[in-house]
Amino acid sequence: MRIGIFGGTFDPVHLGHLIAAEQSREQAHLHEVHFVPAARPPHKSNRPLTPFGNRAEMLELAIAGHPAFRIDRLEKERPGPSYTVDTLEELLRSQAGAELTLIVGSDCLPDIATWREPARIGEIADLLVVTRPGADVRSGEISQFLPAGLRVRQIITKPVIDISSHDLRRRLAEGKSVRYLVPRAVESYIEAHGLYRAG
């Protein structure tokens, strides 16, 4: 069983996330992709997050009907910051015998050496690097970013769609449309719950 682990705040989940997950599944021949919403990401502690429950419910709506996509809420109850290495350790125990791969955007590579226990991350999982607009990478260039122990299994290419959760939150706060940037069910959920409104 080959499982891709796709972590993030997903605040909100958008079509770029789903395309990255689907292209990773297809190109790396993954049996499943597990979306792991972060409860308290250490690198985003300077801004308030939408409550975990709302973000997880939006993810449920976004992946509904895809037989290979799952949501894992394991970070919700864990105290302290949501470190990737801790999440992988827990998944290693719960998914005994599975081959784990960590899906990361190419824009994360310059910071990956600052992650907690990168060598241990590399012992548990290989990396799938998904290309992101403005952060193109080639196989020969990746090694400059990786600390000892981390290895890239594959570079995942996908259509160039420049959508960010930050931009979506700004658009929503300004009363602008996010139609065709997020799944329709997620858009309806945001409207129904009054999320991301200014003030």
Domain spans, the chain? 2-161
pLDDT 10s digits, 52-67 = 999 999 999 999 999 9
Mean pLDDT of 95-113: 90
Please report the pLDDT score of residue 170 as a whole number.
96
Sheet architecture: strand order including 32-37: 69-71, 32-37, 2-8, 99-105, 125-130, 152-156
Tell me yes or no: is domain 2-161 CATH 3.40.50.300: no
Are 97 and 70 spatial neighbours (Cβ–Cβ below 8 Å)?
no
Question: Which pLDDT does position 139 carry in this prediction?
Answer: 56
pTM of model > 0.85? yes
Taking each helix axis from N to C end, the angle separating 52-63 and 184-193, rounded to the nearest 10 degrees, works out to 150
Specify whether the CB–CB gap between 37 and 55 falls below 8 A.
Answer: yes
